[in-house]
Amino acid sequence: MKKIVLVGKPNSGKSLLFNQLTGLRQKVANYPGVTVELKTGRFEQFELVDYPGAYSLSSLSRDEEIAVQKLQEAMQLPDTALVICNLDATRLESSLVFGLQVQALAKQQQKSVVFALNMADELQRFGHQLDTEALSKALGSPVFAISAKTLLGISEFRQAVLELAELAQPPIPSIDHGDEKALRALSRSLSRQFGISASIVLKNQNRIDAFMLNSVTGGLAFLLVMFLLFQSIFTLAAPLMDGVESGIAGLAQWVTGYIGEGRTSDFLNDAIFGGIGSFLVFVPQIMMLTLIIGLLEDSGYLARAALICHRPLSYFGLSGRSFIPYLSGHACAIPAIMAARTIESPRKRLITMMTIPLMACSARLPVYALLIAVLIPEQSYLGGLVNLQGIAFFGLYLMGIVIALLVSFMLSTFVIKDDAKSDMPFILELPNYRFPHWKPLVVRVLASAKSFVYRSGPVIFAVTVLIWLLGYFPTDAGGLQNSYLGQVGHFIEPIFSPLGLDWRYGVAILMSFLAREVFVGALGTLFGIDGADENIAGLAANIQADGLAFGTGFGLLLFYVVALQCVATVATIRAETGSNRIAVGLVIGYGLLAYLLAFLAANLL
């Protein structure tokens, strides 16, 4: 099939144009380790390929480099019939340099170019008439003023693109671009001649920014937005997650109802359906967070939030854009690691992804709740205002953040080398504030769920089934304590005994690789409390009666703060970084650090 290539600058409505031309069905090709995505959709008899938004064809970072390289490859293909260059009609001055670079590249490869000057509805609103005919003449390629949002000029544009792409020999751009300097000068003179005045376009944006970037009002707005974001991934996603869980449980019940009780039924119910549920349960949160970040990005606020956080986080080798992934990590590391895709610098993105697992995710909550109930007396001061257990909770959250920042600092200073294109200077364009369009958002939300299910789902499923098998067999012996997992627990007891923990804790820790909260249920089984998840106080009393030394218990808490014991997180890190080495290295590294801290606590406290 013949291809049409779509390129353009970020924040210029390119994704929406792609959706308007191809509909909502698209295929996404990812390149592991970078955020480069090529989206492909059907546009009449052609295949429309959407290249990542770029500011320039001379790349600064590895992501940009790969994006540009892919574009160059596409330009060389004989199948490529036409190049559409999508630019922001309201910002010709900053867009045309890129437009001319694309045109020069196309000319070199004997390809035809069409310019889509998007967001022309805004020009109309400002009363500016863009002389597309004269600009076409000056550029030597057809120019269309369109709006993918209001569909202004879209049908003529479609028509013209199809006609051009069908030509056996589409016209090659005729103008001479000269060297880099000449190209910049040409861009400047053209934009002065045809563009709208910057002061008109930027008037509103600058007025809002005077408020949003002010230290006081901007800070308050930032806190409010982040509060809402955090609330929604916790509260809005919760019923959806419950829905997924009960849906799968219902399905499992329905299926096993035909089989009757027994080994097959247990296997289907707990291993197969449990395994499917173990990754599907993350999907609502991933979709919710993707939606919110998409809203923030498309409305223009994400860039401001990154600006506000940039300075404090830069001390730890992080980007301003690391803040949202870090915050989201307190709900769940999986969507948070996927949210790190918005970080502009590959190096900072990697550091962010590697440290997100230290955030106190919601799966740690039951573990913290249990151990705090065991170790810390329920005591209040100042008339109930300050609660000792509450302080302990807060301390554990804070500890996660502090350790994450320290690890980031160490990684950025000593481990991850700052080679030529791994870092990206923080040059951020502040886009105009705009009302987001639903189409690219829907596509993006669905794509995030799909990419998680396809790339991380199988690993999570496999490990869940494996741990279930180990915990279930040999059944004739009866119970978790006599299962293979129990035997493994006995076998590895020497590893946990320096921490003051016996085999029961070892088994519970192993089980919690499924998800940390499994620790509570597993320990409950071993301490003879059924349904420990709902009876934390009962289990806590049993553990206290059994005798858990303070140092040992505190060490166990530290272990849970640091250790990366969540197979879903590991699978997601592996998928997002494209590296087994990083995923396994993190499990070992955090495991050793967790062990060391627990050992020190058990023996010093």
Gap between the Cα atoms of 409 and 352, Å rounded: 11
Part in contact with other proteins (CB under 8 A); list of ranges 50-58, 328-336, 515-523, 584-592: 50-58
Three-state DSSP class for residue 151: coil
Q: How far is the CB of 179 from other proteins (least distance, A)?
A: 12
Among the listed residues 154, 159, 155, the one whose alpha carbon sits nearest the alpha carbon of residue 118: 154
Q: How far is the CB of 125 from other proteins (least distance, A)?
A: 16
Gap between the Cα atoms of 23 and 18, Å rounded: 8
State the binding string over 355-384 for other proteins (x if CB under 8 A, else -).
Answer: ------------------------------
Gap between the Cα atoms of 421 and 62, Å rounded: 5
Q: How far is the CB of 216 from other proteins (least distance, A)?
A: 9
Footprint on residues 468-487 left by other proteins (CB under 8 A):
none
Q: How far is the CB of 109 from other proteins (least distance, A)?
A: 21
Q: How many CB atoms lie within 10 A of CB 339?
A: 26
Q: How far is the CB of 122 from other proteins (least distance, A)?
A: 12
Indicate whether 213 belongs to the interface with other proteins (CB under 8 A).
Answer: yes
- β-pair type (143-145, 113-118): parallel
On whether the CB atoms of residues 82 and 51 are closer than 8 A, the answer is: no
Q: How far is the CB of 245 from other proteins (least distance, A)?
A: 41
Q: How far is the CB of 206 from other proteins (least distance, A)?
A: 7
Part in contact with other proteins (CB under 8 A); list of ranges 67-75, 90-98, 346-354, 522-530: 90-98
When the beta carbons of 201 and 404 are compared against other proteins, the nearer one is 201
Gap between the Cα atoms of 411 and 198, Å rounded: 42
DSSP assignment string, 217-241: HHHHHHHHHHHHHHHIIIIIHHHHH
Part in contact with other proteins (CB under 8 A); list of ranges 214-222, 233-241, 336-344, 550-558: 214-222
Footprint on residues 425-454 left by other proteins (CB under 8 A):
425-430
On whether the CB atoms of residues 212 and 221 are closer than 8 A, the answer is: yes
Q: At what angle do helices 438-455 and 283-299 cross, to 10 degrees?
A: 140
Q: According to CB under 8 A, which one of 175, 202, 268, 541 is a site residue for other proteins? A: 202
Q: How far is the CB of 400 from other proteins (least distance, A)?
A: 22
Indicate whether 155 belongs to the interface with other proteins (CB under 8 A).
Answer: no
Q: Which residues contact 328 (CB under 8 A, 6 or more apart)?
A: 229, 230, 233, 289, 335, 336, 339
Ranges of H-type helices in 258-282? 263-266, 274-280
Indicate whether 422 belongs to the interface with other proteins (CB under 8 A).
Answer: no
Q: How far is the CB of 64 from other proteins (least distance, A)?
A: 10
Indicate whether 214 belongs to the interface with other proteins (CB under 8 A).
Answer: yes
Please give the backbone phi and psi of residue 547, each rounded to the nearest 5 degrees, phi first: 90, 95
Indicate whether 308 belongs to the interface with other proteins (CB under 8 A).
Answer: yes
Gap between the Cα atoms of 256 and 251, Å rounded: 9
Q: According to CB under 8 A, which one of 26, 108, 136, 205 is a site residue for other proteins? A: 205
Footprint on residues 15-44 left by other proteins (CB under 8 A):
none
Indicate whether 90 belongs to the interface with other proteins (CB under 8 A).
Answer: yes
Q: CA-CA distances (angstroms) from residue 398 to 69, 192, 394, 519, 584?
A: 43, 53, 6, 22, 26
Footprint on residues 215-274 left by other proteins (CB under 8 A):
215, 218-219
Indicate whether 94 belongs to the interface with other proteins (CB under 8 A).
Answer: yes
Indicate whether 208 belongs to the interface with other proteins (CB under 8 A).
Answer: no
Indicate whether 158 belongs to the interface with other proteins (CB under 8 A).
Answer: no
Gap between the Cα atoms of 208 and 488, Å rounded: 61
Gap between the Cα atoms of 493 and 499, Å rounded: 10
The structure tokens listed for 160 are 């013209």
Q: How far is the CB of 58 from other proteins (least distance, A)?
A: 5
H/E element, 74 = helix 62-76
Number of residues that bind other proteins (CB under 8 A): 41
Q: According to CB under 8 A, which one of 198, 236, 401, 449 is a site residue for other proteins? A: 198
Gap between the Cα atoms of 65 and 393, Å rounded: 44
When the beta carbons of 168 and 427 are compared against other proteins, the nearer one is 427
Indicate whether 184 belongs to the interface with other proteins (CB under 8 A).
Answer: yes
Q: According to CB under 8 A, which one of 36, 307, 480, 523 is a site residue for other proteins? A: 307
On whether the CB atoms of residues 565 and 506 are closer than 8 A, the answer is: no
Q: According to CB under 8 A, which one of 26, 109, 232, 314 is a site residue for other proteins? A: 314
Indicate whether 302 belongs to the interface with other proteins (CB under 8 A).
Answer: no
When the beta carbons of 307 and 467 are compared against other proteins, the nearer one is 307
Indicate whether 174 belongs to the interface with other proteins (CB under 8 A).
Answer: no
Q: CA-CA distances (angstroms) from residue 311 to 220, 352, 431, 597?
A: 17, 15, 20, 31
Part in contact with other proteins (CB under 8 A); list of ranges 107-115, 306-314, 445-453, 531-539: 306-314
- β-pair type (113-118, 80-88): parallel
Indicate whether 78 belongs to the interface with other proteins (CB under 8 A).
Answer: no
Gap between the Cα atoms of 422 and 411, Å rounded: 14
Among the listed residues 564, 575, 362, 288, the one whose alpha carbon sits nearest the alpha carbon of residue 458: 575
Q: How far is the CB of 85 from other proteins (least distance, A)?
A: 15
Q: How far is the CB of 95 from other proteins (least distance, A)?
A: 9
Q: How far is the CB of 310 from other proteins (least distance, A)?
A: 5
When the beta carbons of 72 and 544 are compared against other proteins, the nearer one is 72
Gap between the Cα atoms of 171 and 141, Å rounded: 8
Q: Is 530 exposed, middle or buried (0-12, 13-18, 19+ CB in 10 A)?
A: exposed
Indicate whether 91 belongs to the interface with other proteins (CB under 8 A).
Answer: yes
Q: According to CB under 8 A, which one of 42, 158, 177, 310 is a site residue for other proteins? A: 310
Binding residues (CB under 8 A) for other proteins: these are 55-56, 58-60, 90-94, 97-98, 180, 184, 188, 191, 195, 198, 201-202, 205-206, 209-210, 213-215, 218-219, 307-308, 310-312, 314, 425-430
